[in-house]
Amino acid sequence: MKPKHFFSMIVVLFFAFGLLNAFAQQCNTCLPEDESFQKDGCTVVIVGKKASVDGSVISTHTCDCGLCDWTWRNIPPKDHEEGAMRKMYWFDQFSTLPPRMGLRWDAIDANFNGLEIPQVRHTYGYLQGAFGYMNDNQVAIGESTIGNRKEMDNNTPTPKMDITALTMLAMERAKTAREAIQIMGDMAVKYGYGHTDNGEMLSVTDPNEAWVFEVFPVGPLWVPDSDMPGAVWCAQRVPDDHVSVCPNESRIGEIDLNNKDYFMASENVISFAVDNGFYDPKSGKPFNLKRAYSPSEFSATSTNGSRGRMWRFFDLVAPSKKFSPDMNNMDFPFSIKPEKKYSVYDVMVMLKDKFDGTQFWTAKGIQGGPFQNPNYLPYGFTLDGKKYNTPRCIGVNRAEYVVITQCRDWLPNPIGGLCWIGWGAQDTHCMMPFYQGVTEIPRSFEIGDHYEFDRKSARWAFDYVDFHTQVAYSYAIQDVRKAQEKWEKPLVERTPEIDKKALELYNQSPEKARQYLTEYCNNNANLVINAWWELGDQLLVKYNKIWIYDAQERKRNPMVLPDWWLRELVKYNGLKPAPEEKH
C-alpha cells in the first residue's frame, strides 16, 4: 500500500468511527434488516409505453416522509463559459429550514462539500422537488430508498455524491434515460456515493424507455485516491409492455451484462460482492443483485402487511395470477405484463390504494375506529414490550407530495413532458398538471414548512382539508371524493385538448406554446388550491362538534355510528342498558 493511501485510510477511519453515530440518525430509510424498519419510504410505479393506454411512459414518486422539505422550484436552462466549474453540495433528504432562515435552496452554500467538477457548456432546465423530476428532454426520475447491508454504508464526509445530487446532474446533462443512468453511475463511482444516503432506487424514463437504476455505497473505508470505485450500481430496463414497482426494496435480481439493451452496470457490480463475501461464484448459483446487496426475506403475510406493497401491486395489475401474500417479496418478478393497459388516471387511483378489499385493509375492524379511518397506526405500535406491525399501504397518509411523470414521444418535449403534482396525502389531494414547457411555477409551490401554518403555501391547503377529513373520515372523505371528481378527473380528460392547442401554438412559435402552458398550469393550480381552501372551510363547518351541519336545511343532525362499534363500547366500558320507562 502506498504511504499516501495508508494515511488517507487512517483519516477516513477516524471520520468513519468518530462521525458514524452523528450521521446515523440522518441516514436514509427502510434498511431491510428486520420488521422494525422505518416506514418513511417512497413508492415508485413504472408503466412502459406499450403498457399504457396512450403510449406514455409513466413513472411515479410518492415522497412519503412526514417531515421533509416539500418545496419545489423550476430550474431554467443555462449556458456556461468554457472552463466553468460546478460546485457540488450535500442534500440531506430529511433536512428542513425554518421559514425565517429562507428557502432550502437559498441556504445551499452552507452545504458545499468541497468538490467542484467541470461544468458542461449547456445545462437543461428541469422541475425539482426533493429530487430532479423531469428535464427539457423528457428525462424523468422517481425515487425509492432500498437500503443495503450495513457494512456497505458510507456515512462519512468522504463520498461527495448523494442521491439528490445525482438526480440534479442527470437533469442538467442527460438527453435520454440511458445517458442519465451513465452520468449518475460514473459520478457515483468517481467521486463516491453515500454521506446521508445508502441504497437507492431511481426510475429513469424518457419517451421511449423505462429503467430501474439502483446504486449502493461501498463502505466507510473508501477514499477517492484508492483507484477503487466509490459505488456499486446496476440498471435494468423495464420491457415496453410491462409494469414494475419499487416499494423500498431492491428489485434487480439476476443480471445479464451481455444484454446491453436491458442491463447497464458498474465494473465492480459482481466483483465487489465476491470480494466481500456477499456472493460465492463457486456456489453454482447465478449472481443476484438484490440478494447480494439488499436481501429482504419478508412477505406481506409475515409482516402483517407492513411489507405488503409489493404483493398488492402485483395483485392489482395481474389479479388472475392470484399472487399469494405469503410469497417472499424477493421472489416477485422484476416486472410483469399487466392484464389491462393503464392510463395516468388509473395510476392516480392505484396510488390511493389502502389495501381496499383485502385482509390488510388499513381501516379493518377496530383499527379504523367508528369512522373507518384508514390512517391510524401507520407505523405499528409497541405494547407491553412487544412490537406489533400494521399494514403499510401504497396510499400512505404522510406523503409530502406525489409526482406522476408522463414522457410522450409524439409531441415536442415542452408539450410531451408532463408532471402531475399532488400535495400531501393521496386520499385527500388533487393532482395538477405541469407541462415541462412551463417557464415558472406558482410561488405557493416554493414555500412552506411543517411547523408553521401558512396560507400562502399550496401544501397547507391540502393539509387543511386532510386534517378536517380525519375527524369523521367515513363521512368527510365522500365530500373530498366529490371535489376530486370535479377537479382531478376533468383535468386528465382535458389533456388532449390542451396538447392540441399547445401544439398549434408551438408550430407558430415555441415561446407562444410555453407561455400558453405556463398560464394554463399556473391558473389551474391556483383554482384548485383555492377550491381546497374552501373545501377545508366547508368540512370544518359541516362536521363541527362531530355532528352534521346541513347548510341548506340549516339543521344539525347526529352522526350515525356503526352497531359493531357501539357493541364494543358497551362491552369494554361495561355499560348497562337504560331502564325501560314505565307507563
Average pLDDT for residues 292-316, to the nearest whole number?
96
pLDDT at 561: 94
Check pLDDT > 90 for residue 202: yes
What is the pLDDT of the chain when averaged over all its residues?
92
Judged against a pLDDT cut of 70, whether residue 390 lies above it is answered with: yes
| Region label for 123, one of left (φ > 0), alpha (ψ between -120 and 50) or beta (otherwise) | beta
Number of Cβ within 10 Å of residue 325's Cβ equals 20
Determine the pLDDT at residue 40: 63
For residues 212 and 246, the answer to whether their CB atoms sit within 8 Å is yes
Q: How much is the pLDDT for 110? A: 83
Q: Alpha-carbon distance 58 to 418, whole Å?
A: 10
Which residue is it, cell 368540512? Answer: 539
pLDDT of residue 6: 37
Q: How far is CA 567 from the centre of its chain?
A: 41
In the predicted model, is pLDDT for residue 19 greater than 80? no
| Average pLDDT, integer, range 82-111 | 85
425-484 pLDDT, tens digit each: 999 999 999 999 999 999 999 999 999 999 999 999 999 999 999 999 999 999 999 999
Reported as a single tens digit per residue, the pLDDT across 105-146 is 777 888 899 999 999 999 999 999 999 999 999 999 999 999
Banded pLDDT at 222 (limits 50, 70, 90) = very high
- Cα gap 462→531, rounded to integer Å: 10
| Amino acid 18: pLDDT | 35
Own/partner pairs for 314-323, CB < 8 Å, 24+ apart?
314/245, 315/358, 316/350, 316/353, 317/243, 317/342
Three cell numbers, residue 73? 422550484
Higher pLDDT, 145 or 93: 145
What secondary structure letter does DSSP report for 475?
A: H
Give the per-residue pLDDT at 20: 33
Confidence of residue 387 (pLDDT cuts 50, 70, 90): very high
- Residue range 267-290, pLDDT digits in tens: 999 999 999 999 999 999 999 999
User: In the numeric block, which cell numbers belong to residue 497?
Assistant: 385538448
What is the predicted pLDDT for the residue at 136? 98
For position 50, what pLDDT does the model report?
98
Q: Which residues contact 212 (CB under 8 A, 6 or more apart)?
A: 46, 201, 202, 203, 204, 235, 236, 237, 238, 244, 246, 251, 252, 334
DSSP string, 69-121: ----EEEPPEE--TT-EEEEE---TT----GGG--GGGGGGGGEEEEEEEPPS
Cα separation of 362 and 377, whole Å? 9
**How do residues 438-455 score in pLDDT, each as one tens digit?**
999 999 999 999 999 999
pLDDT above 90 for 94: no
SS3 labels along 343-354: CHHHHHHHHCCC
Q: Is the pLDDT of residue 499 over 60?
A: yes
**In this predicted model, what pLDDT tens digit does every residue of 29-52 receive, in sequence order?**
333 334 334 456 899 999 999 999
State the Cα–Cα distance between residues 153 and 197, nearest whole angstrom: 8
- Over 70: is that where the pLDDT of 3 sits? no
Which H/E stretch holds residue 404? strand 399-407
* Whether pLDDT at 490 is above 50: yes
pLDDT tens-digit map of 503-549: 999 999 999 999 999 999 999 999 999 999 999 999 999 999 999 99
Across residues 549-554, what is the average pLDDT? 94
Residue 322 pLDDT > 50? yes
Look at residue 395 in the predicted model and tell me its pLDDT.
95
- State the Cα–Cα distance between residues 439 and 430, nearest whole angstrom: 22
Q: Which of 84-93, 163-172, 185-194, 205-214 comes out lowest in average pLDDT?
A: 84-93
